[in-house]
Amino acid sequence: MIPPQEASARRREIEEKLKQEEETLSFIRDSLEKSDQLTKNMVSILSSFESRLMKLENSIIPVHKQTENLQRLQENVEKTLSCLDHVISYYHVASDTEKIIREGPTGRLEEYLESMAKIQKAVEYFQDNSPDSPELNKVKLLFERGKESLESEFRSLMTRHSKVVSPVLILDLISGDDELEVQEDVTLEHLPESVLQDVVRISRWLVEYGRNQDFMNVYYQIRSSQLDRSIKGLKEHFRKNSSSSGVPYSPAIPNKRKDTPTKKPVKRPGHEHDFRVKHLSEALNDKHGPLAGRDDMLDVETDAYIHCVSAFVKLAQSEYHLLMDIIPEHHQKKTFDSLIQDALDGLMLEGENIVSAARKAIIRHDFSTVLTVFPILRHLKQTKPEFDQVLQGTAASTKNKLPGLITSMETIGAKALEDFADNIKNDPDKEYNMPKDGTVHELTSNAILFLQQLLDFQETAGAMLASQETSSSATSYSSEFSKRLLSTYICKVLGNLQLNLLSKSKVYEDPALSAIFLHNNYNYILKSLEKSELIQLVAVTQKTAERSYREHIEQQIQTYQRSWLKVTDYIAEKSLPIFQPGVKLRDKERQMIKERFKGFNDGLEELCKIQKAWAIPDTEQRDKIRQAQKNIVKDTYGAFLHRYSSVPFTKNPEKYIKYRVEQVGDMIDRLFDTSA
């Protein structure tokens, strides 16, 4: 049972909580009433706002639609006015641009092209919208006049600013400048940069808008003329400014250096050394005097042609680079083909003239002229890869011109080689043309000089010979094949020469002089072969050639020595009379001894007199032959003199014993010496 005090406290506590809950409930009721009132007020406000918005919408929407219509109308009006202005502008194009078109594009190309663009658009407009209007004809005429002015300006710019390339610049272009420490590329400026830009713009306009290709003909005609004149100018430069050796000088490149350079000889393009025909001219021809000038001219013409060939390649390359900027790509090859024709035809014609001159020279056996073909042919073949590259894309007829000329030169060169060999073989035995002293014949020196010149052109000469071979193996001949052919040819010439010399030697009545003649010629041939590379070339097909010549030389020396037998036989021990010492000689024996002395003396004097006028140009051989003969004669005469000098075979011994042994040696030492 709960105590009364605790129950009373518990009741008071519950009553207080109840009172608090009632107060809270009363607060909540008041809050709900206020909230309901606020909600009613907000609903009332929103309803009023909605009503007003509806009224505003109903009044604004019609205004908005009306404004949109007005804006659309305004835009249409503006567009219409703009179109009218655009259309009207076409009607003013003719009057606005006529003055500019009439005055031409010179000096104001940009403005002129802008006017032409306006005229072009006007033409297109009237063609599309009013093809029958007089305005179309007016702008068409103006357009055509403008196009003609542009064509005329193109021609004028090309004509006024296309200059011939100076020979000096061409020479520097093809030979370079070895004096410069730092190599500089020589470039050609065919047109000033500003002019080039104008020309390019005009050409592009004519192609794109003018529908015109005539300017391409104008271009190639003008540039073709300049190219041709540049090459001819170089040739004339060689004629006028060649030095005494035929080599022109190339001054320094203008505007390239601050110092004043010295002149230097121009190198022949692609050649390690110069080939000079003039030192052969007198040897290879029977003529003298006036021919010297002709041979100098041949040398100059050869140099000039070789340089012109190189100049053509360089200038043609430069022309193509210029053309690439100006001519449309699909017309470049054809235009370039036309552009180079005159210059190329000129070179080919001159080359054919050289072939023709060589052909005539062969007929008259003038082989110095024929030799001009060799350096030219070598240079053409060396230059052919560059030629082919430059002519790439041109017509077949253009590409085939150089190979055709090379074939002609190889054919005439092979003909010259063959005829020279035949000429050596068939050179007539003319008594008046034979050296009286038995020295080297002109035919021998001619042949050796010719063969030595072939050393400078071994590949060229070998290729000439190979080109005439009909065997299938020759169609793709190797350098070794060509070398063997050239070796065979040289051996053929030497063989023909030897046969001819044998025939000529028979002209001499004295076998000893004939032997000296053959000895001199064989010795000259051998020494000449040894001094040059000819001996190595001969050895390719004839290993024993050197030994064979030495045997021939020794054989002729022995033949010559037999000429002294008629002198030494008088005093030879085998034919001397035998007598007893202290026994008085009989008249017959004394007479025999006298005859032996007299025969020796007369023979010695006669041979020395005759052979003194003979010649052995080779000092070594001359001393060798003298010494050998002196030893033989002195030994034989010394023995004879020792036997009979004390024998009383005569009362006047000085009449028969005319010479001491030393005197005989001195007389022989003066053989082959016309100055003694």
Q: How far apart are CA 328 and CA 354, in angstroms?
A: 38
Which token pair is 545?
Answer: 């050639």
pLDDT at 448 over 70: yes
- Alpha carbons within 13 angstroms on the beta-carbon side of residue 448 total 21
Lowest mean pLDDT among 49-63, 327-341, 537-551, 649-663: 49-63
Give the model's confidence band at 62: pLDDT under 50 very low, under 70 low, under 90 confident, else very high: confident
Task: Give the type of residue at 130.
Answer: S
pLDDT, the chain, mean: 82
b/e 231-258 (16+ beta carbons within 10 angstroms → b) = beebbebbeeebeeebbbebbbbeeeee
Answer whether 0.85 is exceeded by the pTM: no
Q: How far apart are CA 383 and CA 387, in angstroms?
A: 6
Chain-centre distance for alpha carbon 58: 98
Contact criterion met (CB below 8 Å) for 391 and 398? yes
Which token pair is 287?
Answer: 């003529």
- pLDDT of 497 reads 95
pLDDT at 296 over 80: no
* DSSP at 509: S
pLDDT tens sequence across 577-591: 666 666 677 888 888
b/e 7-43 (16+ beta carbons within 10 angstroms → b) = eeeeeeeeeeeeeeeeeeeeeeeeeeeeeeeeeeeee
SS3 of 317-385: the string is: HHHHHHHHHHCCHHHHHHHHHHHHHHHHHHHHHHHHHHHHHHHHHHHCCCHHHHCCHHHHHHHHHHHHH
Q: How far apart are CA 557 and CA 628, in angstroms?
A: 10
pLDDT at 177 over 50: no
Give the model's confidence band at 522: pLDDT under 50 very low, under 70 low, under 90 confident, else very high: very high
pLDDT tens sequence across 342-389: 999 999 999 999 999 999 999 998 887 888 899 999 999 999 999 999
Sign of CA dihedral 460, 462, 463, 467: positive
pLDDT tens sequence across 191-208: 889 899 999 999 999 888
pLDDT at 261 over 60: no
Residue linked to tokens 């692609």:
270
- pLDDT of 77 reads 64
Contact criterion met (CB below 8 Å) for 559 and 512? yes
pLDDT tens sequence across 604-659: 999 999 999 999 999 999 999 999 999 999 999 998 888 887 788 888 888 888 98
Give the model's confidence band at 477: pLDDT under 50 very low, under 70 low, under 90 confident, else very high: low
pLDDT at 568 over 70: yes
